[in-house]
Amino acid sequence: MIGLPTPQSTGLDNSTEAYTFSLQKPSNNCELQDGILSVVLPVSYSVICIFGLLSNSVALWVFTLTYKSTKTSIIVYMRNLAIADFLLVLCLPLRIYYQNHPGPFLLCQIVGAFFYINMYASILFLGLISLDRFLKITKPVQLYQIHKVSCSVMATWAVWLFLILGMLPFFFEKRKPGSCDGKCFHFKSKTAVSGTLNLLVVGMFFLLLLLFFSFYSKIAMKLKSMSIGKTQQSRKTAVIMKTFVVLAIFILCFLPYHIVRIPYVLSQLDIIQEHSYKQTLHIANELVLCLSALNSCLDPVIYFFLSIKFRKTVLCAFEGKLKKVYTLNQRGTSFVRSVTEI
């Protein structure tokens, strides 16, 4: 590059040279500019961080207090979903600070990996919640292994282990030196192996999305066929709306990111080489990634709609009636009620 020192060979491996190179590279020489992102992202992530910390702190408090003795598969998944969302928003202060500042290579890698681990943990736990609802609504009489608490706990541990191990290869990938290496969370060129892994992850997401559509289409058919009196028709409509809140949040937060991700990775591989396209994809990728982080604020809405106990606890807390929290009775549920409430 013109006007920049060329990294000298020191006998170190390529990743170390790339690290040294990234520290020497002034961030203002990056060919892709943040533009509106330098303002929009810090503000958006700040709002998400504040509301995410508050809402997920409340959710974890409710799960710890109210559901301490409750043993159901859905509660196991919701607890882990709340943990993933809480951990994700803890990454946001560093993303906010380093949006307009160059950052240490290793710290950027760790924060980025931590962010994506918790984002995809949220995706997988939403998938497990949907699977649980699907089986309990469409086949309420049968008891599957996945409904047992012990199996649910094992499934959540498997999710965390899978994501942590799956993220390790990205720490050892050899990056192509680029003009944007000095920026922490920014467009980076990728090797063929790294790009292929990213596209495989996107493909796995769309497979999961197809499963979501399959689950909820069958749930819709089951609800439609239910015999409910005319006086309860409005309740049936409410049941349907509550049931599909998971799908709505999933599509809103994660589908745009994974649609943009495909051309974005192709631009990182230099398959898409036009500078104007790369600039547009960089802006779009960061905006939809911010939208995916919004999921951490919306997941507590799922708990509020799906669990009457969670809803009553939160309402009692806001009304200052904390004593009622300890005296909430767990009522038996009919089939219609069990569709949306725990």
Find the mean pLDDT for residues 23-44: 72
With both helix axes pointing from N to C terminus, report the angle between 275-293 and 245-268 in degrees, rounded to the nearest 10: 150
| pLDDT bucket at 219, cuts 50 / 70 / 90 | confident
| pLDDT bucket at 324, cuts 50 / 70 / 90 | low
Q: Tell me whether residue 294 is in a domain.
A: yes
Query: Which residue do the tokens 């709002």 mark?
Result: 47
Q: Tell me whether residue 25 is in a domain.
A: no
Q: pLDDT exceeding 90 applies to what percent of the chain?
A: 35
pLDDT in tens, 147-193: 888 899 999 999 999 999 988 887 777 666 665 666 777 778 888 88
| pLDDT bucket at 146, cuts 50 / 70 / 90 | confident
Q: Tell me whether residue 126 is in a domain.
A: yes
Which of 85, 69, 149 has its CA nearest to residue 117? 85
Which of 194, 196, 154 has its CA nearest to residue 173? 194
Q: Calculate the average pLDDT of the chain.
A: 79
Radius of gyration of the chain (CA): 23
| Structural domain count, the chain | 1
Find the mean pLDDT for residues 96-124: 86
Distances 301 to 25, 34, 153, 164 between C-alpha atoms, Å: 44, 32, 23, 27
**Does residue 67 register a pLDDT over 90?**
no
Least confident of 14-18, 31-35, 91-95, 102-106: 14-18
Q: Tell me whether residue 10 is in a domain.
A: no
CATH number, domain at 169? 1.20.1070.10
Rounded distance between C-alpha atoms, residue 77 and residue 64, angstroms: 13
Q: Tell me whether residue 23 is in a domain.
A: no
Report CA 295 to chain centroid distance, whole Å.
Answer: 6
**Does residue 299 register a pLDDT over 50?**
yes
What confidence score (pLDDT) does residue 105 get?
A: 75
Provide the domain limits for residue 88: 31-226+234-340
What confidence score (pLDDT) does residue 141 get?
A: 73
Highest mean pLDDT among 29-33, 42-46, 309-313: 42-46
Q: Could you give the 3-state DSSP secondary structure of residue 188?
A: coil
DSSP string, 146-168: GGSHHHHHHHHHHHHHHHHHHHG
Q: Tell me whether residue 52 is in a domain.
A: yes
Find the mean pLDDT for residues 322-336: 49
Q: Tell me whether residue 14 is in a domain.
A: no
Least confident of 141-145, 222-226, 320-324: 320-324
Q: Tell me whether residue 20 is in a domain.
A: no
Burial bucket for residue 161 (CB in 10 Å: 0-12, 13-18, 19+)? exposed
More confident residue, 139 or 294: 294
pLDDT in tens, 266-283: 998 889 888 889 899 999
